[in-house]
Amino acid sequence: MTSSRFPLILPPSELAPRLGDDNLVIVDVDAAESFYQAHIPGAVQLDYADITATRKLATGLLPDIAHLSTVLSRLGIQTDSHVIAYDDEGGGRAGRLLWTLAAIGHKHYSLLDGGIRAWRHDKHPISQEIKEVIKSRYQAIYAEGIVADRDYVLAHLNDKNIALLDTRSPQEYHGEEKLAERVGHIPGAINYNWVLAMDHHNSLRLRPTSELRQEMMDLGITEDKEIIVYCQTHHRSAHTYIMLKALGYPRVRAYPGSWSEWGNLADTPIKHKPVE
């Protein structure tokens, strides 16, 4: 049976009856130990480090295209595969995989809402069986309009048609917690802690669309603007990227270097909470 396409945010109840669909690749982006203990039947495991790169002081960067092609081929993903990603933290690592797929123009992917926590909470089956993967020959090509590098952000700092969304904790945003050489945030960036989008009483599923949309509107994150998301290494902000796309935002980019790059450079402009 050939899989019809799934929604971007996929409830566990919609995946459970279709685990055997053709062209479906379920990817577990948890640690290998967790995967071997229990995973969704038919899932394949991906080490998060395989979809990020470090150069100089910046972590969380996009790997080169040859590396990504090798990783996706090893997972058995083909250009027409529908990829469903999940993890155990509500979707940060899984979201990063899906953003990476968007960055290379892959068309079909979904985030399992609530990940393995929601799956197990809803009493869907789990497995320890390791699926035999038939490797593909995926040829990745970077797409336009998904990545915002440092130069792109610098060039648009005063652009009223662009909104920067910093998804780190308020302590990081205000410069009270130091995770890079310099502290603070990119000038003009609005803070929205990524965990606020999750329902912590409902297995880390996304909160209702109407609530999330209103919160974005209240922050000035409106659909007429291009939104650029970032955090420390574009892990947390990858979840926010997927959330914004699910809300219908047409133009969303992510800055993969994020604060690990911006905060470790000597000449990038920063803002932080004034000393009282």
CA 44 – CA 27 distance, rounded (Å): 5
Over 90: is that where the pLDDT of 188 sits?
A: yes
Per-residue pLDDT tens digits for 93-143 = 999 999 999 999 999 999 999 999 999 999 999 999 999 999 999 999 999
The pLDDT of residue 35 is 96
Cα dihedral 226/185/101/35 (nearest 10): -140
The pTM (predicted TM-score) of the whole model is 0.96
Q: Which of 43, 231, 247, 252 is catalytic?
A: 231
Is the pLDDT at 4 greater than 70, yes or no?
A: no
For residue 5, what pLDDT is reported? 81
Asked if residue 263 has pLDDT above 70, the reply is yes
All domains of the chain in start order, with CATH: 9-121 (3.40.250.10), 150-262 (3.40.250.10)
Is 231 a known active-site residue? yes
What are the strands of the beta sheet with 24-28, ordered from one edge? 9-10, 109-112, 82-86, 24-28, 44-45
